[in-house]
Amino acid sequence: MNDYFDNWTVQVRKGLLDLCVLRALADRERYGYELVKHLVDLPGLGVTEGTLYPLLSRLRLQGVVSTRLEESPEGPARKYYALTTDGRTVLALMQDYMDQLNAGAGMLRRRQTGGRS
C-alpha cells in the first residue's frame, strides 16, 4: 500500500514541479543558487538540487524563463532567472487549470462528506 502511495506522490510532485518553479519566479527574479535552495526547502515537494538545474535549462530553452549573469562581491557570478512574457502566460494557464482541478476535487470531497453526514 505504501509503494502505491509513494508512486502516486512522485507523479503528483513531478507534475507540479514546473508550476512551482514558475510560481517562485512570479514575484521577482532569483539567482540560481537562491532559487534552488528556496525550492529544495519547500515542504512536500521533495526535489533534489541536482534535478533543478536541468529543469531550469529546459525552461530557458522552451522560452518560459530568461537568464542573465551578474558579478557578485560575495562569490561567483550569479545567474538570475526571470519569467518571460510566455512564461507568465503559461503560469496563468497552469494556475487556472490547478484552480479548476482543486475545485473539482474539492466538490467531490464535499459531496462525499455531505453524504456521510
Partner 1 sequence: MIAWTPAARQELRRHAERTRHTIEAAGADPAEVLEDLERHLAQEATAAGLAAMTEEDVRRFLARLGPPPASPDGRADPGVVTPLPDSRPAPAPSAWLAVGGVLLPLITLAAELITGMCAATFLDPLGTWWHVLLVGCVPLANGLALHALRTGRLQDRRWLGWATGLAFGITLFYSILFTPLALPGLLAVIFYGFGLLPLTPLIALVCTVFIAGALRRWGTEGTRVSPPLAGYWRGAALAWLALVILEAPIWITRASLALAVSDDAREQQRGLAWLRWLGREDTLLRECYGRTRGTESLDLVYWLASGGRSVSSDQAREIYYRVTGRPFNAVPAPKVRSARGVFAELNEWTWDADQGGERVGGRLRDLALHSSRLDAVVEPDAALAYLEWTIEFRNSSRIQREARAQIQLPAGGVVSRLTLWVNGEEREAAFAGRAQTRQAYQQVAIRQRRDPVLVTTSGPDRILMQCFPVPPDGGVMRVRIGITAPLSLSSLAAGELAWPRFLERNFNIPEPLRHTLWVETKGRLEALSSTLHTEQPKPGVTAVRGLVRDPELSSRTTLVRVHRDPVVRRVWSTDARSSNAGFVQGTLVETQASIPARLVLVVDGSREMRPHLQTIATALAALPEGLELAVIVAADEPVTLAAPASRNADDLAALRRRLAQMSARGGQDNLPALMTAWDLAAQRPGGAILWVHATQPVLLSSAEPLRQAYERRRDGPRIIEFQVATGPNRILEQLDGVDAIQTLSARENLADELTRLFKAWQAEGREVRLTFEHLDASPAADDQTREASAHLVRLWAAEQVRWLQAARRADDAIALAASHQLVTPLSGAVVLETAQQYAQHGLTPADPTTVPAIPEPGTRTLLALGLAALLLRPRQRAG
Positions that interact with partner 1 (CB under 8 A): 6-7, 9-11, 13-14, 17, 32-33, 36, 43-44, 46-51, 53-58, 60-62, 74-79
User: Closer to partner 1 at the Cβ: 55 or 98?
Assistant: 55
Give 98's contacts (C-beta < 8 A, 6+ positions apart).
Answer: 19
Q: How many CB atoms lie within 10 A of CB 11?
A: 10
Beta bridge partners of 83: 65
Measured in Å, how far apart are the chain's first and last C-alpha atoms?
28
Q: How far is the CB of 96 from partner 1 (least distance, A)?
A: 24
**Positive/negative CA dihedral, 19, 20, 26, 32:** negative
User: Closer to partner 1 at the Cβ: 43 or 115?
Assistant: 43
Q: How far is the CB of 75 from partner 1 (least distance, A)?
A: 4
Q: How far is the CB of 80 from partner 1 (least distance, A)?
A: 12
User: Closer to partner 1 at the Cβ: 9 or 100?
Assistant: 9
